[in-house]
A and B are shown apart, each in its own frame.
Chain A
Amino acid sequence: AQSVSQHNHHVILSEAASLELGCNYSYGGTVNLFWYVQYPGQHLQLLLKYFSGDPLVKGIKGFEAEFIKSKFSFNLRKPSVQWSDTAEYFCAVLPLRNEKLTFGTGTRLTIIP
């Protein structure tokens, strides 16, 4: 069965700092990868996704993620964070021949103004 690791449980940054949140998965086959975000008091919503093609994917609000197949990683990045990026971020993996999404444990991001 697949699994997802997010090693950073809580990250605290100042505004304008650069962000990188780690995500590693374990699964031997082809996968689709996702980052979801949950702002305080709001729905879980999709930030970005990788299905095929260019391993560098761009999402909403200036976020991007790079799929490195050899490292089984899909790290999330943003060059300059804002206070409004304060949220919880979840990485998820969906094997190609499966309907079940497996989530990581989440990373809580706090941005200090």
Chain B
Amino acid sequence: DVKVTQSSRYLVKRTGEKVFLECVQDMDHENMFWYRQDPGLGLRLIYFSYDVKMKEKGDIPEGYSVSREKKERFSLILESASTNQTSMYLCASSLSRRVFGRKIPNDYNEQFFGPGTRLTVL
């Protein structure tokens, strides 16, 4: 069973603080993703990474950065937290379609999600 874990379920921070959200997956997945989930807006992609030290901006990267030093770990960083970053943050992972030399069945690309971190910025 794929397991995606996130370092905290609930977090309360003050405006201007630097915030680190950690995500770890145990299935050797190449791809990792950070989303935020807000009522009425669904899930919106912040950043994703398809390999160690690689990152790509998602739909709403402003105010965030990421770090992927090891394959299993993907960190989301809020350099200076603001109240509009109060949200539920979800991490996900999936196998990559880009891996050469390995045949990936087409239906292996579902994303597996962690439990989420509810961040409140005061």
Report chain B residues within 8 Å CB of A36.
113
Report chain B residues within 8 Å CB of A6.
42
| B-contacting 9-mer, from A13-21, A65-73, A74-82, A97-105 | A97-105
Chain B: residues with Cβ within 8 Å of the partner, total of 26
Least CB distance, A6 to chain B, in whole angstroms:
8
Report chain A residues within 8 Å CB of B115.
42-43
| Interface pair B48/A100, CB less than 8 Å apart | yes
| Interface pair A99/B50, CB less than 8 Å apart | yes
Given the contacts A45-B113, A51-B107, A52-B106, A105 and B94 also touching, CB distance less than 8 Å: no
**B86 at interface by CB-CB < 8 Å:** no
| Interface pair B90/A44, CB less than 8 Å apart | yes
Chain A: residues with Cβ within 8 Å of the partner, total of 24
Q: Which of B75-102 contact A (CB under 8 A)?
A: 90, 94, 96-98
B2-44: CB near A (< 8 Å → 1, else 0) gives: 0000000000000000000000000000010101000011111
Partner of A100, one of B41, B42, B58, B90: B58
Q: Would you call the interface of chain A mostly helix, strand, loop, or mixed?
A: loop
**Lowest 3 CB-CB distances: which A-B pairs, in order?**
A105-B42, A44-B113, A103-B43
12 contacts between A and B (CB under 8 A): A6-B42, A32-B106, A43-B115, A46-B110, A49-B107, A51-B107, A90-B42, A97-B97, A99-B94, A99-B96, A101-B111, A105-B42
Interface residues of B (CB under 8 A from A): 31, 33, 35, 40-45, 48, 50, 58, 90, 94, 96-98, 106-107, 109-111, 113-116
Given pairs A43-B116, A49-B110, A103-B44, 15 additional interface contacts (CB within 8 A): A6-B42, A34-B110, A44-B43, A44-B90, A45-B113, A52-B106, A97-B97, A99-B48, A100-B48, A101-B33, A102-B45, A103-B43, A104-B42, A105-B42, A106-B42
